[in-house]
Amino acid sequence: MPSPATLAALRAFVEERDWDQFHSPENLAKSISIESGELLECFQWGSDFDQTRVEEELADVVTYCIHLANRIGVDLDEIVLRKLESTREKYPVDQARGRKVKYTQLAAERAGDAERDAQG
């Protein structure tokens, strides 16, 4: 997902500072959450936002996601596409298109339809 040049730059940054020792999966997961909070803070008082600040906080979130993926040895493209496939199954287009309903409700609707079909 990130380009090889971006990955190399991130690796070099961490190595130069000997920060890999602090990048446990737990610390990186916490950092993703903390930076997500900072991103959310950009919208705390309304929908207006400072583009530069949002870009910086988004970069922080993505950077920690990349570090965590590297740390636990997963390919971001692979896990995102795998999760997308799973989400695709939870949200069938014919049921979910244009609706903001949780997948559990869609599943309940399918179960209700199946029950009605079974009853004739």
Considering the complex, state which of residue 33 and residue 105 has its C-beta at the smaller distance from Mg ion: 33
Which residue ranges make up the site for Mg ion (CB under 5 A)? Answer: 35, 38, 57, 60
- Residue 57 or 70: the one with the smaller Cβ distance to Mg ion is 57
Both structure tokens of 83: 């999760």
DSSP string, 48-89: ---HHHHHHHHHHHHHHHHHHHHHTT--HHHHHHHHHHHHHH
Residue nearest to Mg ion (CB): 60
Cα separation values, 39 from 67, 108, 116, 118, Å: 18, 34, 46, 48
Minimum distance of Mg ion from residue 34's CB (angstroms): 8
Measured from the CB of residue 29, what is the shortest distance to Mg ion in angstroms? 15
Of 41 and 77, CB closest to Mg ion: 41
Least distance from Mg ion to the Cβ atom of residue 66, Å: 15
**Residue 59 or 108: which CB sits closer to Mg ion?**
59
The nearest distance, CB 56 to Mg ion, in angstroms, is 6
CA-wise closest residue to 1 among 82, 77, 85: 77
Interatomic CA distance for residues 41 and 35, integer angstroms: 10
